Structures are given as C-alpha cells and as structure tokens.
Chain A
Amino acid sequence: MTYKKLMVLFLFTLPLLTSCYDKIELEQQSYVVALGIDKGEDKGSYTFSFQIANPEVGSTMATAGSSEEPKETVSILGSDIITATSLANSFVTKKIMLDHMKIIVVSEEVARSEGFIRVIQSASRIPQIRGSVQIVVSKERASQFLKKNKPTMETRPHKYFQYMLQRAQQTGIIPDADIHRFFQITEGDADLFLAIYATTMKEENKTNTKKDHDYLAGEIPKQGGNPTQFMGSAVFKEGMMIDTLTGEDTRLCNILDKTVDMDELFVSFPDPIKPTYQVGFNYAQSSEPKVNINYDNKANHASIDVVVPFELEIIAIPSMVDYALNQDEQNQLIQKFEQTIEAKTNQLITKSQETYGSDPFYWSLYIRKFFKDVPAYEKGDWNKKIFPNAAIHVDYQLKRLTFGKMINDSKIEEVRD
C-alpha cells in the first residue's frame, strides 16, 4: 500500500521537473548592455542598435584560448524597442534580454526631433527596462558611437559603462540622467532635463584655449585612451533636446540642484596675485544649496535667493604665493574665487532665463508650496511665466578653507638663490 502510494507520488512529481513557462537558462539569453537609437529612413521608424555583452570574457570561468569578442553590436530597423529585439533574433542566436541594460544612447539627431519622447516612452511600459538606465546623447549616430567605443582596460562593456558613468557623475562633469528622472522632469513640465553628452569623434579644428572644465564631449585635448568622451550635457525641454552645456556648466547645475549628489570637484582658476599661474582647488559641497523663494501671488513674480555653502581645499599653488599664512592674500584669493563662480553661475542663469525659458536646476520644487493645488500651480506656469521673469540672486559662501597636509610650499627664492 505504502509502496503504491509512493509510486503515485513519484509520478505526480515528475511533471514538476519540466518547470514553469518562464523558465529560461542563462545560456539561452543575450544580455544587452547598451541600446542605441537612431533615425530610420522614414518617419516613425528607427534603427535600434543592441550592444550585447559576452559573459564569458573576463570571468574566471573562461577557458584558455577563447578568442571571442567581449561584445557584439547589431543594428536593426524597427518602430519600438521590443519588436526590434524579436527581429534581431533572426541573426542573434539567443533571446535578447534588456534587464541588465545600463545605458540608452540616443543620437543627437533623434534627441532633437519631437519623436524622441515617443520612442523612449516604451521604456517605462515594459518591466525589463529599469528606471536606473542612463540616457546618453551622442553627437554621431548611436550605432557608430557604440561600435567605435573601444575601452582598452575595462573590456567588459557592462562594467565599462557602469564605472565610466559613475565616476564622471561623481566629478560632476556629466549629469545624473536616468530614465526615472527623465520622466519626473519631463512630465512635471516645469524644468529642463539634462542628459549625458558623449561622443567618439574628435573635434580637430577647435583651438585649445579653453581652461579648466569648459569643454564639451569631443573637445577635450587628450592623447591615448579610449576615443569616447563623456563630457557635458544635452539640455532637454519638454522631451526635446534644445542645446548642450559644457562640463563646467553641468557642474554648476549639479551644484545648484539639490536632488543630485556630487562627491568631489577639482577646479582650477587663475591665481589672483600671479595671473599667469592657476590655483587648483578641491571644491566640496558641505550642504545642499538653500533656495529661498519669495513669491508674489498677485503679480505672479518670484524673487529667488540662493545661498550655496561650500568648502575648499587648496591642492596646488604653482605660483607659490603664501596663501596659507598671509591673511590678506588669502582674502583676495577667496574673494576672487567667489566672484568667478558667481559670475559664471549668473551667466548660466541668464542664459537659461533668456534662451531656454526654463531652469535646469529643478527649482520648480521650491515654488510649489506657494500654491494650494495643482491646477493653480499649473496656471502659475513656472517655466513660461515665473522663472524667466524672476529676480535671481546667487551667493556662494565659503565655510572652510584647508591647505592639504602642507603648511607652506618650498621657498622658491631660497631654492634658487
């Protein structure tokens, strides 16, 4: 009796071995790490490029002598992302999975067209694409960008994109541009969204007179390394790209936007005492900027006072001026720094008020509390009426100045006597 029961039990457990509908082996999947979107030949059609990672490369499991490429990039025409994946299966051997995608690369051509928001929309509809995927705008065609990108040190593409963007975001030269944020800002319809700007093309004819971080991707004078440069940002207004910001301006946006974290900023600017030299700083944001808005309900006018507290650490004084002990020279230095950064910020604000008609700093958050409900807030119209006419005053306040681990530099006169 018990033997028979056991047999029946065994028979019933057999079907369980076939497992469920959604079972898929790791080997049967192709992991897309980067997705490129280009314009297709006619309206409403796009070329999608999938960069597929080869999981074998770089793992300790890899068999000796395996000469497979670390990644494969394929491009295919389609109208949306998912249907393109199934078409791509005519020459990609395995099921294309988007779960581990890190970035979406959009060519500047697509980003500047009104169709961009339509094609990116499907990214939020399908659960495969996470909200944390970063949006990158490439100067050239996205397929070209993905193909030309040849990292030499970090050959595994998922690690490359992850570390590359993470590090660049920490230094503030590119914005935090995930899909989640794109939809918050675009649908909020008040502020400007900044996407990462990148290219593999080198700008040859530009003269390298620029200083510090005032570059766009492709302009950085460099030698060696991967041709890909991530620098600056693409400005999106109402889901459409309208302009680019340099790395320096992007940093200012990151400083003024309290929803973005930034770890460290290294900046240099002309020495106030010996202007031929530059002084190097490590800029640290000690606390988020205080944005104080006074809103006049009747006139629909706002005056915005921004106080940015910051800390500085001096990392290089090539002019060897004694800033550490000479209080007078130190004050000059601080004043010059504050003046310079305030002037640059004001320039950016004026530009966004006059040219863009909206702000890339996410400041609409502060005006919200003056409105009772959403209809009133939308009627107040931050990006068309309030912000462009607002009186804005920015004040940078130095909280701490440190000099690294040295009291003073070598006494140049004594060394060279």
Chain B
Amino acid sequence: MKQTDTLKTGEMFAILSILIATRASDSTASLFTQKTQNAFWYVPFISLLVILPSLFLLFYLLKKYQDKHLIEMMETVLGGWGSKIIGLLIFISAFLLMGLGNESYVSQIKILYFPEAPGITIALIFFIVVYFSAKKGWKVIGFVSKVLLPFFLLSSVVLIALISNDIVVDRIFPFFGTGMQDVLWEGVRKGSLFYEVFLVTIAYTSFEKTTYFRKGVIIGLLFSITQLITFFFIYATTYDYNSIEKMSFPFHDLTQYVNIGSFITNIETFFMVFWILASFIRFTIYLYIITWIFASLFHIKYIESLLLPIGFFNLIISIIPENVIMNELVFRDALLNYTTPLLISFPVLLWIVALAKGDLKKQ
C-alpha cells in the first residue's frame, strides 16, 4: 500500500469524476426529463454556468487564506457561530442528499438485479462495504479512485460503441423541450447537481500542493460535465421525449437493450459490475467527505471514528422513502432545488464578509 505517497492532480480528478459523472447512470436523467422533456441533455451545462461564479469565488477565497480547508476558512472569516450555522446547513443538506441517493442506488440494485432480496439487506450490505472502504482513509480512497477510473471509462466507452447504432440525432429536436423558459429555470434550480465540487473543498489541504487540488477539480469538472452531457445526449436520442419521461433508470434500460452481435445477448451484468463498483466508491467518498465536514465543524480529530454513526444514520434515512419514484421525483427533486440557493449564496456571503473585514487586501 502506497500510504506514504501524497495525493496529486490525478487522484483529485478521479475522485471528482466518480462523484459527478456517475450521476449519468442513476435516475438524475429521468428527474430532469419530467420538466424539460427532450431538452434535458444540456440542462447540466446550464446548471454548471449558474454555479460557476460562486465556485470561482470560493476558490479565490481558499487561495487567499492559504492552508485552510473549507470549514477552517469559514471559521476565520465568519467566526465561531456564523461558520457553524452555515457549515451545519451544508452538512445537513449533503447528509440528506446522500441518504436519498443511497436509497436510489439500493432500489436500482434490488429492482434490476436482486428482486427477491429484501431492500434492507441490500442497503445493509451496501453500508458495510462503504463503511469499511471509507475507514481506509482519504488517501486510499484517492488511490483506489485513480486506479479504477480507467475501467469505468472503458465500460462506458463499450456501452457507447454498442448503442451508437441506435442513436437518432434528430430526436434532440425540438431543441427547447417544454419551452425555453422551463428548461432554463430547471437548469438554474438544479445547480446543486454540482454540490460535490463544493464539498470536496474540505480536502483542500490534503494535497501535496494546493495547485494540484485546483487543477484536479477543474479538469475533473470539465470531464464530468462532458460525460454527463454525452450520456444524457445518448438517452435523449435513443429514447424519445415521451419514453424517457416514464423511465426510472435509463442507464440500465440501455444496458439491457444492447447486444454484442447475435450470439452474446443479455450482457447487462458486464456493465453492472463496473457500475456497482463505481457506486461503492462514490458513496465511500461521499461518506468520508461529509464526516470530515462534521468532524472539522466540531473540531473532532478522528474522522474515522465518526464514520460509523454518520453512516448508520444515513442508512436509516435511506430506508424512509417508500419507493424509488417518490424518493426521486418528490424528495430529491425538492432537496436539490432548495440546496441550490445555499450553494450560490454562501461563497458570496463569505466574500462580502472577508471584503468588509479587509482580509483580502493584505496579500
């Protein structure tokens, strides 16, 4: 184990790619189509544009206050109480989003691959795997992401190659889906699609040089948005706008549809292996990050000892929603909408306070 090595751009890139690009394979796409129909494929791009100014502002602040991660920086700027309130808000929304995301993945596994197994058992196994991987620590998570990312990419390339015959590009027209306003508004409201980029700033100082972190985030972000849009584009062009709307899991419908020639049929399990590995890593990263935020909020030194309680509460959250459709279309939809203003506003708030205090002029 190369524990002593330090994290570099590659690891950051892999972590962010797994956090965001795996969204292409869950039910985010069907969530978007409910309000935008066939225009959903470029909605992530609008969301990114909306979130980008705040993101750059946050990066600018992190650069100014050297050697401090998100929470430490907030404490320096806002003082004890202010930072705790905002930090808790960030933590709670991330915690809930993870819980609901967890539910979504567990039901995908249950409905598509293990229909007989009880949901709780699958959730428990999921939790155990995620917990023990997170316990290995941040560096191992980084290395594992970097090692496995090429395989995930390879499997998506195979899938794209197999489906490319069924793509009918004309299906992206009419270009504005339900109407330009609706699409733009949906894009704005779903800015929280890139929540993870804000969350990983907690790891700002864990890299050998902070430039590695910044570089990794920017490349990772560019890459993830490309992958998200590519996959959404494929969904929009293989299914039509009326059909995509009623699908819960477009990714799995795709893997069930493709065949390699006429001899190798029913190959979805091949993609499922990579998909499930990616989701394990995704939730491992997620669990570690939110525990890290929680720990640094209350100045707790040992993150690893908090993983179990936080992970367990998350498991409980994840079994509350009755079914995946309620979870996805009602709870997660609302939560994503409410989180966006928080993400857009808190870096601005930090910046205004820092400006007023005169911190930004010193350096």
Contacts and interface: CB of A to CB of B under 8 A. Distances in A.
Contacts of B79: none
Interface in A158-212: 162, 166, 180, 183-184, 187-189
A184 B244 CA distance: 9
B38 interface: yes
A188 B170 CA distance: 13
18 contacts: A20-B117, A21-B116, A22-B114, A22-B115, A22-B117, A99-B266, A127-B112, A130-B266, A183-B243, A187-B242, A188-B243, A365-B173, A368-B173, A369-B170, A372-B176, A373-B175, A373-B177, A374-B174
Interface stretch (B94-102, B127-135, B200-208, B250-258): B250-258
Interface of B: 37-39, 111-118, 121, 165-166, 168, 170-171, 173-180, 239-243, 252-253, 256-257, 259, 262, 265-266
Contacts of B259: 132
Contacts of B239: 184
Interface in A68-104: 99-100
B36 to A, nearest CB: 9
Contacts of B177: 373-374
Contacts of B39: 373
Given A130-B266, A372-B175, A187 B168 contact: no
A376 interface: yes
A375 interface: yes
Contact of A369 (B115, B166, B173): B173
B117 A100 contact: no
Contacts of A376: 174
Contacts of A131: 253, 256-257
A261 B113 CA distance: 32
B256 A127 contact: yes
A371 interface: yes
- Find the residue from A21, A366, A374, A375 having the highest chain B CB count within 10 A: A374
Contacts, number: 87
A21 B171 CA distance: 41
Contacts of A184: 239-240, 243
A365 B169 CA distance: 9
A29 interface: no
Contact of B114 (A20, A183, A366): A20
B174 A371 contact: yes
Contacts of A22: 113-117
A397 interface: no
The 7 closest A-B pairs by CB, nearest first: A368-B173, A187-B242, A21-B117, A365-B170, A131-B257, A373-B176, A371-B174
A370 B242 CA distance: 19
A377 interface: yes
A177 to B, nearest CB: 14
B262 A166 contact: yes
A259 interface: yes
Nearest to B171: A365
Given A22-B114, A127-B111, A184-B240, A375 B171 contact: no
Contacts of B114: 20-22
B175 to A, nearest CB: 7
Given A100-B266, A131-B253, A369-B174, 10 more contacts: A21-B118, A22-B113, A365-B170, A368-B170, A371-B174, A372-B175, A373-B39, A373-B180, A375-B178, A376-B174
A187 to B, nearest CB: 4
- Find the residue from A21, A166, A183, A373 having the highest chain B CB count within 10 A: A373
Interface in A25-72: none
Contacts of A188: 240-243
B324 to A, nearest CB: 13
Interface in A273-293: none
A130 B256 contact: yes
Nearest to A188: B240
A374 B166 CA distance: 22
B307 to A, nearest CB: 22
Contact of A366 (B118, B170, B176, B265): B170
A376 B173 CA distance: 11
A374 B112 CA distance: 31
A259 B179 CA distance: 27
